[in-house]
Amino acid sequence: MRIVEVRTCVLRLSTTDVYLGPLTNGQQLRDEDGYVVRAPWRSLYSARNETVLVRLRTDDGSVGWGEALAPVGPEVVATAIDQLLAPQLLGRDPRRVRPAWSELRDLMRERGHLVGHQADALAAVDIALWDLAGKVHQAPLADLLGGAFRTAVPTYVSGLPKPTDTERAELAERWAKDGATAMKLHLGQGVEADLATFDAVAAAAPAARIAVDAHWAYSKPEALRLGQGLDARGALFLEAPVAPEDVRGHADLAARLVTPVAVGESLRNRYEFLAWMSEGALGLVQPDVARTGVTEAMVIAELAAAHHLPVAPHHSVGLGIAIAAGIHLAAAVDNLLALEYQPTPFSVAQRILRTPLRADASVLHLPNGHGLGVDVDEDFVVRNAVRQHTVKENET
């Protein structure tokens, strides 16, 4: 058995409910706006759900699907797959996932590309290899990873994408009534404003644990004030408080706060995570499987366990393949806190699947079936792809 075809598909799916809601001035993002900065955050965002999917096909017709978290510029990741990874995949035995991952990682390692778009491309391919291996072995991915600790994965509701505290509180109250036990606020709007939002949501959903994502917006003194306010309020965690490269700053905060400092979405591999853990710079580990791949995510989870740290996998706007991979990862991790659940993008994510993933207010259910356990609607993917590219064995 060998891989004979690698196809990438870039998608940009429009939605009436934009990820993280309107801008702070109340303006709604539109498809025609392109990429914009959502001040005070510094990153680019799109009104659409953008991603790159990869499909591997073997000589016996077996297929495996993968996805990279690529919320902007998915063509960059797709090109890395097409030109750098796909030719090296052709002819490989799909059952040898870890050797393939190791060799693909090393292709650009000496040139400093263990991170960024090359890592995202490798993550998509790695997920596809595991999906394919599960189908070949007729086993769910979680079983290949050593078995599931749970089939109902605990989650926290992420976002509450409303522009005012009153509206956020109303939404939090509805989620709590539906059974949500934890929620995360996307803030970074100023220390006093963030604490006021926390208080409004906590009053509306008093039984729920509440976390804050500061989106890397603060200086260390500001983050310390915010963290101390969250300490007094019993917050679940404080995510991304200062600049994403500031390991020392996060370590200083972590040493002075009771609230766990959470980091992970900007990191891609074991070496980065190990450096942060060794510095005591995080109290909650947040790998995103669509940026690390399954192989590396499991190593990161074991490193976290060795440092006695819980894991809460990150997820934002990935589609059904990335979500399914995240659920299998979370099911197979012993030291799990929760998996991030984004209700707004979740409905968009289902569009590429023939059988939807199952979610309640407090859990995501492990998919049944081999590999990722999802049935990708390839007709929908092909119809909606804005860019497709195929590399076949006889073309190399």
Report residue 35 as tokens. Answer: 């990429």
Q: Number of helices (H) and strands (E) in the chain: give both, helices first.
A: 14, 14
Rounded Cα gap, residues 259 and 359, in angstroms: 28
Supply the pLDDT for residue 291: 98
Supply the pLDDT for residue 357: 97
Give the CATH number of domain 143-365.
Answer: 3.20.20.120
**Residues of the chain with confidence (pLDDT) below 70:** 395-396
102-118 core/surface letters (b: 16 or more CB in 10 A; e: else):
eebbeebeeeebbeebb
Rounded Cα gap, residues 131 and 374, in angstroms: 9
Cβ neighbours for 123, distance < 8 A, ≥ 6 positions apart: 66, 68, 69, 268, 289, 290, 291, 292, 293, 296
- Could you confirm whether 314 is annotated as catalytic? yes
Supply the pLDDT for residue 396: 45
pTM to 2 decimal places? 0.96
Q: Is the dihedral of CA 91, 95, 99, 101 positive or negative?
A: positive
Look up tokens 């909650």; give the residue. 284
Rounded Cα gap, residues 284 and 281, in angstroms: 9
Residue-wise pLDDT tens digits, 205-252: 999 999 999 999 999 999 999 999 999 999 999 999 999 999 999 999
- Domain ranges for the chain: 3-142+378-395, 143-365
Supply the pLDDT for residue 222: 98
Rounded Cα gap, residues 246 and 215, in angstroms: 13
Rounded Cα gap, residues 163 and 27, in angstroms: 10
Task: Count Cβ atoms below 10 Å from residue 396 Cβ, excluding itself.
Answer: 10
In CATH, which superfamily holds the domain spanning 3-142+378-395? Enolase-like, N-terminal domain (3.30.390.10)
Residue-wise pLDDT tens digits, 125-145: 999 999 999 999 999 999 999
Q: Which of 250, 314, 315, 370 is catalytic?
A: 314
